[in-house]
Chains A and B, each alone.
Chain A
Amino acid sequence: DTGVSQNPRHKITKRGQNVTFRCDPISEHNRLYWYRQTLGQGPEFLTYFQNEAQLEKSRLLSDRFSAERPKGSFSTLEIQRTEQGDSAMYLCASSLLSAGDVLHFGNGTRLTVT
């Protein structure tokens, strides 16, 4: 079990640029989640995939955010036209369909928008 892997660990970008993050879940896990976390707060749900299907997105998720999970394996999260308010830790988690809400998290990608 190599755990959930996220790349890059850190990303600094200028306002207005596009960024893409990658998540490699635990290999047999069919569920994949993206969360965002700002300093001093708990994680905030962004979106959920079951295999390759995106089944749920947060109502608060801006149209500038898009996520994919081609072939039900790794996932990417893209933020277009970044804003300073997008600065946060972006966390990916995976789980088995049979495991309820027992999620395995990666160590996140920290985004700083200058």
Chain B
Amino acid sequence: DAKTTQPPSMDCAEGRAANLPCNHSTISGNEYVYWYRQIHSQGPQYIIHGLKNNETNEMASLIITEDRKSSTLILPHATLRDTAVYYCIVRLPGSNYQLIWGAGTKLIIKP
């Protein structure tokens, strides 16, 4: 089954770049990788997604390896408000609508 693997937790110093890895070795060739985050007591928030090429938006950058088996979300200048659980997500094979959410990475930004 397609799924993602992320470290359960990470720390990062405020102002530094936070690099969050994700393994998705069973992803199919035409499936996107999505990243969301969830701040305590709120619903998840979309960050970025990509297929093959690296992507950048106002929130983050996404680096996808050439073999598409892994990716890294980069928050270039982390702030305390970036403390959240970060989810790397792919679709359930055979489904047009179901996303597979693991337990995510708890990112703690330290002052």
Contact = CB atoms under 8 A, between A and B. Distances in A.
Instruction: Answer yes or no: are A and B bound together in one complex.
Output: yes
A67 B92 CA distance: 21
Given A4-B43, A41-B103, A105-B45, A56 B95 contact: yes
A102 to B, nearest CB: 5
Interface SS of chain B: helix, strand, loop or mixed?
Answer: loop
A55 B103 contact: no
Interface of A: 4, 31, 33, 40-45, 48, 55-56, 58, 91, 93, 100-108
Contacts, number: 55
B88 to A, nearest CB: 10
Interface string B56-94: 000000000000000000000000000000010101100
Nearest to B98: A45
Given A4-B43, A55-B96, A102-B46, 7 more contacts: A56-B97, A101-B32, A101-B34, A101-B99, A102-B49, A103-B99, A107-B43
In the A-B complex, the 10 residue pairs with the closest CB atoms: A42-B101, A105-B43, A48-B97, A45-B98, A105-B44, A56-B97, A43-B101, A107-B43, A102-B46, A106-B43
